[in-house]
């Protein structure tokens, strides 16, 4: 598989929880937020911030649990409460070196790990005036960690996430399922939907799973 991992500038850091909780995360309070951080209301950044606020205010669908974390502590609290344990493991996509060119990668069979079980919390970075992560938990989900090696010898750990057909209920509104119509076709055929997690230099995506579900396994690819 040919992949490209461009370097991405780090986004804003998490604010202290007390400070983050004092700043509203809502469309109605957006003028206050923009003014506080000196962002022009008609700017591109303001439009993205508005989209983030709207997404965070939308209700969860299809039995999904969702939460927009504005502090590291709130991210941890949501993950542990959703999974029902404080014994969790956080993982993310990593690259062995910077400046890796677009190239073909091969899966290393001995470097495949499966997070068995179907309870995972994924947190995705969002565009806002300060650090905001969109975290959500859905059922019938499987995740894998796998090592891939490029032609230039650059190895890295890559995450692959699979959804089963039970995710169909979330498809009409969840952004993950609005990208390609062929995903719907796969679900109607009772086939899992793959989602590859790309690398971000600011470590934007974390998967949290109960440690007792963490094991090494051989998969047939």
Residue 209 lies in a domain: yes
- 153 within a domain of the structure (yes/no): yes
SS3 15: coil
What pLDDT is stored for residue 70 in this prediction?
93
In a domain, 155, yes or no: yes
Instruction: Answer yes or no: are the C-beta atoms of 61 and 167 closer than 8 Å.
Output: no
Would you call 181 exposed, middle or buried from its count of C-beta atoms within 10 A (0-12, 13-18, 19+)? exposed
User: What domain count does the chain have?
Assistant: 1
Q: Is residue 64 in a domain?
A: yes
The rounded distance, in Å, linking the Cα atoms of 166 and 161 is 14
pLDDT at residue 198, rounded to an integer: 52
pLDDT at 207: 44
221 domain residue, yes or no:
no
- Per-residue buried b or exposed e for 122-154, using 16+ beta carbons within 10 Å of the residue's own CB: bbbbbebbbbbbbbbbbeebbbbbbbbbbeeeb
- Whether 158 maps to a domain, the answer reads yes
In order along its 221 residues, the chain shows pLDDT tens digits of: 777 766 655 667 788 999 999 988 999 999 999 999 999 999 999 999 999 999 999 988 777 789 999 999 999 999 889 888 887 777 777 777 676 777 787 877 777 777 655 677 888 888 898 899 999 886 667 777 777 777 777 666 565 555 544 444 444 444 554 544 454 455 455 555 555 555 442 333 344 444 444 333 333 33
Report pLDDT for 132. 92
pLDDT of residue 18: 93
Residue 2 within any structural domain of the chain: no
- pLDDT of 41: 94
Query: Does residue 6 form part of some domain?
Result: no
CA nearest neighbour of 187 among 62, 2, 83: 62
| Separation of alpha carbons 134 and 126, rounded Å | 7
- pLDDT at residue 189, as a whole number: 56
Q: Which domain holds residue 157?
A: 13-216
Taking CA atoms, 99 is separated from 80, 102, 199, in Å, by: 35, 10, 12
DSSP helix, strand, coil percent of the chain (3-state; round to 5): 25, 35, 40
Cα atoms in the Cβ-side hemisphere of radius 13 Å centred on 172: 5
């Amino acid at each position: 598989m040919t992949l490209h991992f461009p370097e991405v500038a780090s986004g804003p850091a998490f604010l202290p929880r007390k400070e983050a909780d004092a700043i509203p995360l809502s469309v109605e309070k957006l003028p206050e937020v923009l003014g506080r951080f000196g962002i022009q209301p008609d700017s591109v950044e303001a439009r993205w911030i508005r989209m983030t606020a709207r997404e965070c205010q939308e209700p969860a669908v299809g039995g999904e649990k969702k939460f927009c974390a504005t502090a590291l502590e709130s991210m941890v609290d949501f993950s542990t409460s959703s999974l029902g344990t404080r014994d969790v493991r956080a993982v993310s996509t990593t690259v062995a070196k910077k400046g890796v060119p677009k190239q073909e990668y091969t899966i290393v069979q001995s470097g495949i790990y499966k997070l068995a079980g179907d309870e995972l919390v994924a947190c995705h970075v969002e565009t806002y005036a300060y650090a905001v992560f969109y975290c959500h938990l859905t059922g019938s989900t499987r995740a894998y960690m796998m090592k891939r090696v490029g032609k230039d010898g650059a190895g890295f750990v890559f995450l692959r996430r699979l959804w089963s057909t039970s995710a169909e209920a979330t498809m009409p509104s969840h952004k993950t399922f609005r990208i390609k119509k062929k995903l719907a076709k796969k679900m109607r055929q009772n086939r899992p939907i793959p989602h590859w997690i790309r690398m971000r230099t600011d470590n934007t995506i974390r998967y949290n799973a109960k440690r007792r579900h963490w094991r090494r396994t051989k998969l047939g690819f």
